[in-house]
Chains A and B, each alone.
Chain A
Amino acid sequence: MLSIKNLSVSIHGKPIIKGLSLDVNAGEIHAIMGPNGSGKSTLASVIAGRETFDVDEGEITYMGKNLFDLPAESRAREGIFLGFQYPVEIPGVSIANFMRTAINEKRKYLGLDPLTGAEFLKLMEERKKMVDIQSKLTNRSVNEGFSGGEKKKNEIFQMAMLEPRLAILDETDSGLDIDALKVVANGVNKLRRKDNATVVITHYQRLLDYIVPDFVHVLYDGRIIKSGDKSLAFELEEKGYDWVKKETA
């Protein structure tokens, strides 16, 4: 589904991703772990199409297409979803209105009729239940005045609404209490299908108790220095990143 080959990315001439390769297939869950500043969010942004970064080398194909040919909004409509590490506030725009616009843009792109108000409301109610989000939240402006945890839950709700093919969740577990963590993990698991894939970026092995990954990758200084199965996460938790660094040096 997603194939990254020898990717190098810089910002203002400063290299951040330094020759990274990664393959994600349909039905898989990948976890990316790595120390602060190692380039995890940068990788996610580049996949999503943020233009503040310069791609110096490498290629990314998604569903057989060259990703760099598609602007950010088309990538989203083609099913790429990014759960932001720091979701932004959009004052005055209700989540319902935001989601309705997003869904109908996507449907237009796919040649489908827009959802009617009633159809949309039905979908929204269904998905709210699925990810256990408070009813009132969707009437509020996007992320405005939300607590840290509410912002993250809102990202999961949006994911449920948009039903992405490839979801990248950037530290969606950070700042969540244990119940909220379960809610988020539950959402991801319920949405899991044979034809979609999820990449979770996290610092904590704890999340992986609920979302069980097929692969765990360690991103260190712009490179994936080690990949393994879920047991790698336990090892990391125990021994820290220095251990991997030494081992691979």
Chain B
Amino acid sequence: MENESNKILEEVTGSEYKYGFYTDIEMDQAPPGLTEDTIRFISAKKNEPEFMLEFRLKAFRHWQTLKEPEWAHVKYPRIKYQELIYYSAPLKRAKHDSLDEVDPELLETFEKLGIPLNEQKALAGVAVDAVMDSVSVGSTFKKTLEEQGVIFCSFSEALQKHPELIKKYMGSVVPYRDNFFAALNSAVFSDGSFAYIPKGVRCPLELSTYFRINAANTGQFERTLIVAEEGSYVSYMEGCTAPVRDEHQLHAAIVEIIAHKDAEVKYSTVQNWWPGDKEGKGGVYNFVTKRGICEGENAKISWTQVETGSAVTWKYPSLVLKGDNSTGEFYSVAVTNNKQQADTGTKMIHLGKNTRSTIISKGISAGRSNNSYRGLVKTSRNAENARNFSQCDSLLLGDQCGAHTFPYLDVGNKSSIVEHEATTSKISEDQLFYCLQRGIDMEGAIGLIVNGYAKEVLSKLPMEFAVEAQKLLSISLEGSVG
């Protein structure tokens, strides 16, 4: 009898589940909330291989056991994870051969954001894979890349065409167990980018992806995976911008980079998401996990980031230097204004012999913002002759903002040399007046001084990106001194 009722119950719930599933798949948006069903929905929607669904479910079950981290020097209201929408697709989605076929409205938005997704860009030698909300929309210059055997496509496409590569590398650098947000991303990630550079190939183009958050209340969970085979080279750029929004938007991305023997990967980011208004209303929460591994000897990975956006940033692009003689670099400019909060930095984990790392961090705080650098340099027992040099500078505009530095050291090998330098400075009244006297107004003066201060980092960016970043630095500090 009991067995019987159980069976019925199972049938009812099961069919309900199936039914729900069936209707859901017609929708372009998942209903708000996060359950195993949501995850099955996303996976089915994207027609994913079984291993992917398994991975997502494992991550989800693990995430449910976790608590949101509270150690960062940031404050924000609790995120209501059950009220977010975890999947939404742009309405007019199609595979395009040329940009003429792309929804003109979308192109217009990109224009407004100053991201011309057009032939000029392509002529400038940039292949663009634009991600709007959760699904890839346009791609250029694939041919040139294909000729070299370079794979550069959306994560979803890679799952269909190169499942073996995804299976091999996904989660190998950032396992879903890594942290709260990594687990969440691994469970619900919608799309992202995949780049694969075959052995000995020097990628002929800068690979560039523009992310943009669009639909209201949609948490954005991107996933990027870059694999550089032995002796290859690639420069990868990620640029982000979001339109004005009232509600907070969660962004929890994962970026994984694998550099094999003698390979080099340069990863550059300019992040200028909506930081919220002056009172701290609105803005994006940016909780991202970025990590690379120098797997083989002489491998090199460098992170260069310019962070001007988001209401709350929690971000530590890190590197594991496993191969002997491998090199890691971290160059960062983080600007906070008004009520923005940023807790960012890096981790350099030296495992191999003669591994080298350099950290240059330039924090700029204005208004009533808070800007923290948090960094860990760790050398393991086997890391003979490991070297690190860290330089962490803070620039304050006004006296209501905060700058904090939290350098952590963990030296496991006596032969390693770790150097740390830190400075804090203010823009002086003398400097400002000097500029004013030459006819440069207050905002222009601040822009100049700040760009000069950040030059060491900006000079690491690819040319066109550097120009954009310079403008952004000035814009994001507008009205900060008056």
**Contact of A241 with B by CB under 8 A:** no
Residue B68 CB within 8 A of the other chain: no
In Å, the complex CA distance between A50 and B437 comes to 9
Chain B: residues with Cβ within 8 Å of the partner, total of 23
**B140 surroundings in chain A (CB, below 8 A):** none
Q: Is the CB of B436 within 8 A of A49?
A: yes
B438 close to A98 (CB less than 8 A) = yes
Contact B439 A109 (CB under 8 A): yes
State whether A73 and B439 are in contact (beta carbons under 8 Å apart), knowing that A50-B433, A90-B434, A92-B456 are contacts in the complex: yes
Is A91 close to B, CB under 8 A? yes
If A88-B430, A93-B451, A93-B452 touch, whether A105 touches B444 (CB-CB below 8 Å) is yes
Residues of A within 8 A of B431 (CB): 88-90
B425-449 contact mask (Cβ, 8 Å, vs A): 1 or 0: 0001111011111111110100011
User: SS class of chain B's interface: helix, strand, loop or mixed?
Assistant: helix
Total contacts A-B at CB 8 Å: 72
Contact status B434-A158, CB under 8 Å: no
- Whether A77 contacts B454 by the Cβ 8 Å rule is no
Q: How far is the CA of A141 from the CA of B455 in the complex (A)?
A: 11
Flag if B451 contacts A92 (CB, 8 Å).
yes
- A89 nearest CB neighbor, chain B only: B431
Nearest chain A CB to B104's CB is how many angstroms away?
A: 32
CB-CB under 8 A for A82 and B437, given A88-B428, A91-B453, A93-B449: yes
CB proximity to B under 8 Å, residues A79-118: 81-82, 84, 86-93, 97-99, 101-102, 105-106, 109
Inter-subunit contact B452/A106 (CB<8 Å): no
A98 contacts across to B, CB distance below 8 A? 435, 438, 448
| A182 to B442 CA separation, bound complex (whole angstroms) | 35
Residue of B nearest to A74 (CB): B439
Are B448 and A90 in touch, CB under 8 angstroms?
A: yes
A124 at the interface (CB under 8 A from B): no
- B439, B453, B456: which contacts A102 (Cβ < 8 A)? B439
Nearest 8 CB-CB pairs, A to B? A92-B452, A93-B452, A92-B455, A76-B439, A102-B438, A72-B436, A77-B439, A106-B439
B residues at A contact (CB < 8 Å): 428-431, 433-442, 444, 448-449, 451-456
Can you name 19 A-B pairs with beta carbons within 8 Å?
A52-B429, A73-B436, A73-B441, A76-B436, A76-B438, A76-B439, A77-B439, A84-B434, A86-B430, A90-B431, A90-B448, A92-B453, A92-B454, A92-B455, A93-B448, A93-B452, A101-B444, A102-B439, A162-B439
**Contacts beyond the supplied A48-B437, A88-B434: 19 A-B pairs with Cβ under 8 Å:** A49-B436, A71-B436, A72-B436, A73-B436, A73-B437, A73-B440, A73-B442, A76-B437, A76-B438, A90-B452, A92-B455, A98-B448, A101-B444, A102-B438, A102-B439, A105-B439, A105-B441, A105-B444, A141-B452
